[in-house]
Amino acid sequence: MRKDEVEIELKLLIPENASSNEIGLAFSRFTDFIIDNDEEALMRTLIDNDNGRMWSKALWLNPESQTIELIDVVQSSKSKKVVSVCIQEKT
């Protein structure tokens, strides 16, 4: 994803033990999230919800909320568990 000179790589993370239905739902929600946002709004959402960091973004489908969430890789690494923030409204 590129806005002006800023380029951000998006990575959808899928748990190793995910079923084919969960994988399909993750791809579907991820695609909806990308399509439902124009590039500028999407870039702003991703950067603003990641403390202004302008690097690759790790996203996942939260199995509890069933929404795409942005993983805070710094806090997740420190706490040894997934720390994320919802960036997609539940549909």
Burial category of 23 from C-beta neighbours within 10 Å (exposed 0-12, middle 13-18, buried 19 and up): middle
pLDDT score recorded for residue 53: 87
Residue 6 has pLDDT above 80, yes or no: no
Q: Where are the beta strands (DSSP E) in 1-91?
A: 2-3, 6-7, 10-13, 57-61, 68-71, 84-86
pLDDT tens track for 17-31: 999 999 999 999 999
Average pLDDT over the chain reads 90
DSSP state for residue 19 in the 8-state scheme: -
Question: Would strands 57-61 and 10-13 be described as parallel, antiparallel, or unpaired?
Answer: parallel
The arithmetic mean of pLDDT across residues 66-85, rounded, is: 94
Residue 75 has pLDDT above 80, yes or no: yes
Measured distance CA(51)–CA(53) in Å, rounded: 6
